[in-house]
């Protein structure tokens, strides 16, 4: 096509502009609803409003603003809940730098009006280690209400808000994940399952099937490597295969081990997958790539290639597309999420920890071996 590049450039510009516009609109709605929720809370909880006040206010709003939607009695109560649930975590200092531009775009409230900027001026990042402010403002109010009703822990709410923002879940997908208690059931490993698995029920099951970290305590780190620089995947691979029953017990239910160093031919090139499993519940092959290092984005490219080959050459017609897991020493979650976001194959990244002869914290408090023996003898 002669102007394909121009069309693509303009399309991307339009999409970026639409995303920015939606973000601004959503921020406005959240700010307004937070302010209304505060106003209602202060008057209905501690003020002079009586029973039935919200029903009367809603009815009067409908009369004075025909066609107004989203201000039923239930909605007004939801706004109150929205304010009351987040208010304890509010920081009443000036907004952080990232909120300044959004705050400046808010209309200045006149005297006697509800300040529509309350939320942007007062709320800070609610759960510092878990919830990003940008995530919070990208999630629609309807989603916030669903999360507040179903999930009671701050960490759980932060988890669902982040996932909604990251994967653009609609309310029906969020409803299913909340009903399945995804936060408590899943290992929270970074993944792209909700984007790459069209069946949302299967996506939930896939997320539940894997953990963020696996303790391979049946492998002693000190026995495995004489020195830190001796670390390499083949040594680790052989140790896992030698203890495959223990590995499967840690890995999870319904996993069947097929083969180590599974050989696939692509053209004239011979490739080997570190560990290949089949999960009965997911009805899918699971390729595990061992990386005895910190996660690197290139690991996903290699794994995606293996999944494509398995999909073409190995997967049976009745099976779901294969799933890939990078099992590495450590990762930066943000790096993984950015790297994995554009891949079309279902993949996740988890870490592993090896066992030790004795936990370090325990060795600090235990007496020397000879003293410990005397203590045991004295108790006989």
49 and 172 assigned to the same domain = no
Per-residue pLDDT tens for 259-301?
A: 999 999 998 999 999 999 999 999 999 999 999 899 999 999 9
133 and 117 assigned to the same domain = no
Residue 180's domain spans which residues? Answer: 128-185
pLDDT band at 93; cut points 50, 70, 90: very low
175 and 251 assigned to the same domain = no
239 and 341 assigned to the same domain = yes
133 and 119 assigned to the same domain = no
341 and 218 assigned to the same domain = yes
Per-residue pLDDT tens for 120-131?
A: 434 433 443 456
Per-residue pLDDT tens for 194-204?
A: 889 988 788 88
Q: Is residue 153 part of a domain?
A: yes
CATH code: domain of residue 343: 3.40.1350.10
Integer-rounded Cα Rg, in Å, for the chain is 27
Average pLDDT over residues 141-155: 93
Per-residue pLDDT tens for 17-53?
A: 877 777 788 888 888 888 888 889 988 887 778 888 9
Q: Is residue 139 part of a domain?
A: yes
pLDDT band at 15; cut points 50, 70, 90: confident
Q: Is residue 101 part of a domain?
A: yes
Q: Is residue 2 part of a domain?
A: yes
Tally of structural domains, the chain: 3
Q: Which residue has the higher pLDDT, 358 or 336?
A: 336
* The pLDDT of residue 376: 43
Q: Are 253 and 281 in contact (CB under 8 A)?
A: yes
Q: Is residue 372 part of a domain?
A: no
Q: Is residue 360 part of a domain?
A: no
pLDDT band at 103; cut points 50, 70, 90: very low
120 and 136 assigned to the same domain = no
Domain boundary residue among 124, 152, 175? 124
Q: Which residue has the tokens 């507040």?
A: 148
Q: Which residue has the higher pLDDT, 276 or 88?
A: 276
Is 90 exceeded by the pLDDT of residue 75?
yes
Domain boundary residue among 136, 170, 185? 185
Domain boundary residue among 100, 124, 148? 124
96 and 218 assigned to the same domain = no
pLDDT band at 232; cut points 50, 70, 90: low
pLDDT band at 349; cut points 50, 70, 90: very high
Write phi, then psi, for 274 (nearest 5 degrees): -55, -55
Q: What strands lie across the sheet with 213-220, from one edge to the other?
A: 213-220, 347-355, 320-330, 284-294, 269-279, 255-266
Q: Is residue 28 part of a domain?
A: yes
219 and 349 assigned to the same domain = yes
302 and 347 assigned to the same domain = yes
From CA 343, how far away is CA 337, in angstroms rounded? 11
Q: Is residue 377 part of a domain?
A: no
94 and 167 assigned to the same domain = no
349 and 222 assigned to the same domain = yes
Q: Which residues contact 154 (CB under 8 A, 6 or more apart)?
A: 89, 126, 127, 130
């Amino acid at each position: 096509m002669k102007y394909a590049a121009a069309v693509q450039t303009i399309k991307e510009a339009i999409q970026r502009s639409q995303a920015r516009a939606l973000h601004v609109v959503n921020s406005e709605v959240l700010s307004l609803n937070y302010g209304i929720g505060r106003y209602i809370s202060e008057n209905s909880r501690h003020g002079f409003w009586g029973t039935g006040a919200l029903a009367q206010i809603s009815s009067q709003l409908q009369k004075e603003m025909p066609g107004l939607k989203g201000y039923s009695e239930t909605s007004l109560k939801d706004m109150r809940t929205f304010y009351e649930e987040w208010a304890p975590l509010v920081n009443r200092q000036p907004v952080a730098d990232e909120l300044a531009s959004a705050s400046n775009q808010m209309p200045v409230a006149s005297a006697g009006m509800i300040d529509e900027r309350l939320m942007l001026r007062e709320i800070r990042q609610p759960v510092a280690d878990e919830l990003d402010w940008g995530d919070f403002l990208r999630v629609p109010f309807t989603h916030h209400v669903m999360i507040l009703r179903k999930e009671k822990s701050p960490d759980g709410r932060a988890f669902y808000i982040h996932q909604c923002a990251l994967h653009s879940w609609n309310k029906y997908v969020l409803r299913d994940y909340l009903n399945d208690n995804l936060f408590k059931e899943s290992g929270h490993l970074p993944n792209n399952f909700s984007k790459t698995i069209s069946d949302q029920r299967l996506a939930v099951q896939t997320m539940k099937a894997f953990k963020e970290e696996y303790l391979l305590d049946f492998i002693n780190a000190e026995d495995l490597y004489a020195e830190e620089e001796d670390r390499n995947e083949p040594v680790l691979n052989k140790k896992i295969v030698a203890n495959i029953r223990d590995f499967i017990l840690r890995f999870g239910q319904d996993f069947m081990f097929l083969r180590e160093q599974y050989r696939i031919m692509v053209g004239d090139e011979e490739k080997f997958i570190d560990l290949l499993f089949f999960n009965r519940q997911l009805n899918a092959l699971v390729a595990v790539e061992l990386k005895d290092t910190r996660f690197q984005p290139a690991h996903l490219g290699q794994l995606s290639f293996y999944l494509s080959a398995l999909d073409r050459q190995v997967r049976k017609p009745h099976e779901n597309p294969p799933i890939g897991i990078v099992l590495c020493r450590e990762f930066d979650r943000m790096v993984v999420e950015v790297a994995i976001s554009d891949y079309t194959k279902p993949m996740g990244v988890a870490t592993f920890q090896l066992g030790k002869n004795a936990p370090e914290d325990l060795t600090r408090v235990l007496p020397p071996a000879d003293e410990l023996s005397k203590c045991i003898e004295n108790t006989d």
